[in-house]
Amino acid sequence: MSLENQELRKAGLKVTLPRVKIYQILEKAGEGDHFSAEDIYKLLMEIGEDVGLATVYRVLTQFETAGLVTRHHFEGGHSVFELASAEEHDHIVCIKCGRVREFVDQQLIDRQYQIAKDLGFTITDRTLYLYGVCSEGCSAK
């Protein structure tokens, strides 16, 4: 049994073709890469998999609920998804070109835990997004 199948079963999801294909796409993308539902839909079309857009959304939501992927919301009212990763990281989003970039800054993370501790909290989850304009590239479509 393939790795994807194990992951899906472990998450309590039946192993179906759309789920496997979508999981593979996310997997191949690797860490730091983010896809919108539309991106994934187009990729599926390209490889000849006839999966509906609604299914892509549903499967991604199921993956999110199961903790397999993380959903990120940003400008323009659409979301991007990435395979849940073990390493804590944060995101910086270019509001012009839409690119999402990950970064890890231990000092920043440590400080957050320290603040929470000082306020009498135990952190279970964090969300940090920086929105801005990236200087290079960003051919402002």
Partner DNA sequence: AATGCTAATTAGAAACTTTCGCATCTGTAA
Partner DNA sequence: TTACAGATGCGAAAGTTTCTAATTAGCATT
Count the residues in the chain.
141
Considering only 46, 77, 120, 135, the residue that binds DNA (CB under 7 A) is: 77
Q: 100, 32 in Cβ contact below 8 A?
A: no
Distance of alpha carbon 7 from alpha carbon 4, whole angstroms: 5
Q: Does 46 bind DNA (CB under 7 A)?
A: no
Q: Does 51 bind DNA (CB under 7 A)?
A: yes
Considering only 24, 55, 70, 112, the residue that binds DNA (CB under 7 A) is: 55
Tell me the longest C-alpha to C-alpha distance in the chain. 54
Distance of alpha carbon 27 from alpha carbon 77, whole angstroms: 24
Query: Minimum distance between the CB of residue 40 and DNA, rounded to whole angstroms?
Result: 10
Q: Which residues bind DNA (CB under 7 A)?
A: 9, 13-19, 36-38, 50-55, 57-59, 61, 76-79
